[in-house]
Homo-oligomer: A and B are copies of this chain.
Amino acid sequence: MRALSRAAILAVGSEMLTPSRTDTNSLLITEQLNTLGIEVVLKMIVGDDRAELANGVRVALDRVDLVVCTGGLGPTDDDLTRDVVADVLGRPLREDESITSHIKARFTRRGMQMPEINRRQAMVPEGGLVIENPNGSAPGLWLEHEGRVVLLLPGPPRELRPMLTRVVESSLAARAAGMALVRRVVRITGRTESHTEEAVQSLYAPWASAPVPVAATILASLGQVELHLSVRAPSRSAAAGALDLAVQQVVERLGPDVYSTDGRALEQVIGEVLAERGLRIAVAESCTGGLITSRLTDVAGSSRYLDQSVVTYSNEAKTSLLDVPAELIAAHGAVSEPVARAMAEGMRARAGADVAVAVTGIAGPGGGSPEKPVGTVVVSAVMGSAARSRVFRFVGEREMVKFQASQAALDMVRRMLTA
């Protein structure tokens, strides 16, 4: 039997060909397949259309040795994956009575009768192995075809996820080449993509020619740069060893601009430091409108270090909630370093917190001026006797400015905490 090493993912569903939705299941599937060293070389998205779906399956079978289809396993006329795959592989469909019983039992538990239409979900192409679905009525299917594997999985993530994990750990692990493909993402703030590249590019050649070669790609995203490293090695530990070394070299070059080497988000990194040191934080937001606090509270257990924040959009609120003197705002404008600093100080005092960060700026599209154009944001942070402030000029639309400002504020806190 050929070891599986190249996969295609075929997402089925007309809604993913509209302007409002696209496939995201493939991210989860890729992550899981990569752990077995199986690389995804092609993704396709087709609608609930017999001809396009059949073509998709044929194209994928022609390119790879593992085809993962998601979606189109429901009970309605729109759900064609089972039928079409059986057809392309030349396998007649037969009803599997044990699946019918399973589906009936699900309905009975909810005090309902199984609609006749659901019987379709019990149809299995000849030679297909059924994969149980603990979270829904559509079972998955595993089909072998001329040394290749075709896997049919349901579309809803909460049904897909547990089935995929089980298949990856059992049948797929047994059929993979035994090479692990391991990735690591180094996250960086405070540098542009090209400054990051400049600092690390002389590492690429030695990485590429190392006994366990490391591949690298730099990706810029809003408010940060990511360096994606990947290694294909006979074992996860060999891969991890090579990656550890590469990550260490990157950290030596980039220093504190690296905030995470294991996929953690900025808010998690900060949260861990705060929790560890028993410090409490409070946030005074203006143009970010609550986004910084929302990100901090996305982290489980954040109540240990955050108990209050305020959003002071108006000047009056800055005075009444943060004790920013009205004269200070009149003298410097609401978007200024003195006001940001006063907001941070006021927040810290009011909340009795150890650390406070404040943001004031112009998210746009209105409110800009020649001296302070849209995107001008001032961040100020205070901790003990230390204080930092910085003026930023962000580009992009309102939500992009908000996000970048939240990123800059969290990063200022991180640097202050780890200084």
Q: Are B303 and A314 in contact (CB under 8 A)?
A: yes
Instruction: State whether the Cβ of A312 lies closer than 8 Å to any Cβ in chain B.
Output: yes
Q: Are B298 and A308 in contact (CB under 8 A)?
A: no
**Chain B residue nearest in CB terms to A285:** B290
Residues of B within 8 Å of A283, CB to CB, are 311
For A316-357 the 0/1 string (1 means CB < 8 A from B) is: 110001000000000000000000000000000001000000
Q: Are B308 and A19 in contact (CB under 8 A)?
A: no
CA distance A308 to B302 in the complex (A): 22
Q: Are A45 and B43 in contact (CB under 8 A)?
A: yes
Q: Are B294 and A20 in contact (CB under 8 A)?
A: no
Interface size on A, residues (CB 8 A): 77
Residues of B within 8 Å of A307, CB to CB, are 312-314, 316-317
Instruction: State whether the Cβ of A28 lies closer than 8 Å to any Cβ in chain B.
Output: yes
Instruction: State whether the Cβ of A228 lies closer than 8 Å to any Cβ in chain B.
Output: yes
Instruction: State whether the Cβ of A23 lies closer than 8 Å to any Cβ in chain B.
Output: yes
Shortest CB distance A300–B (Å): 5
Return the contact of A321 from the options B30, B217, B219, B308 (Cβ within 8 A): B308
* Copies of this chain: 2
CA distance A126 to B308 in the complex (A): 64
Instruction: State whether the Cβ of A213 lies closer than 8 Å to any Cβ in chain B.
Output: no
**Chain B residue nearest in CB terms to A280:** B314
Instruction: Give 15 pairs: A residue, B residue, CB < 8 Å, sorted on A.
Output: A18-B30, A18-B34, A19-B30, A42-B52, A43-B44, A43-B45, A55-B63, A59-B59, A285-B290, A288-B294, A289-B294, A289-B298, A290-B297, A300-B398, A308-B313
Residues of B within 8 Å of A55, CB to CB, are 59, 63
Residues of B within 8 Å of A210, CB to CB, are none
Instruction: State whether the Cβ of A255 lies closer than 8 Å to any Cβ in chain B.
Output: no
CA distance A113 to B297 in the complex (A): 47
Return the contact of A291 from the options B14, B22, B294 (Cβ within 8 A): B294
Instruction: State whether the Cβ of A273 lies closer than 8 Å to any Cβ in chain B.
Output: no
Return the contact of A52 from the options B31, B63, B228 (Cβ within 8 A): B63
Instruction: State whether the Cβ of A47 lies closer than 8 Å to any Cβ in chain B.
Output: yes
Q: Are A297 and B313 in contact (CB under 8 A)?
A: yes
Residues of B within 8 Å of A228, CB to CB, are 15, 18, 20
For A1-36 the 0/1 string (1 means CB < 8 A from B) is: 000000000000011111111111011101100100
Instruction: State whether the Cβ of A70 lies closer than 8 Å to any Cβ in chain B.
Output: no
Q: Are A308 and B310 in contact (CB under 8 A)?
A: yes
Shortest CB distance A294–B (Å): 4
CA distance A293 to B283 in the complex (A): 14
Shortest CB distance A302–B (Å): 8
CA distance A228 to B55 in the complex (A): 26
Beyond A17-B39, A17-B42, 13 additional contacts (C-beta under 8 Å) are A18-B230, A41-B47, A41-B52, A55-B63, A59-B59, A288-B294, A289-B294, A289-B302, A297-B363, A298-B402, A309-B311, A310-B310, A310-B311
Q: Are A46 and B52 in contact (CB under 8 A)?
A: no
Shortest CB distance A307–B (Å): 3
Residues of B within 8 Å of A399, CB to CB, are 298
Instruction: State whether the Cβ of A40 lies closer than 8 Å to any Cβ in chain B.
Output: yes
Q: In A38-82, which residues have CB < 8 Å from any B CB?
A: 39-47, 49, 52, 55-56, 59, 63
**Chain B residue nearest in CB terms to A55:** B63
Residues of B within 8 Å of A185, CB to CB, are 20
Residues of B within 8 Å of A18, CB to CB, are 30, 34, 183, 228, 230
Shortest CB distance A311–B (Å): 4
Instruction: State whether the Cβ of A178 lies closer than 8 Å to any Cβ in chain B.
Output: no
Residues of B within 8 Å of A26, CB to CB, are 22
Residues of B within 8 Å of A398, CB to CB, are 298, 300
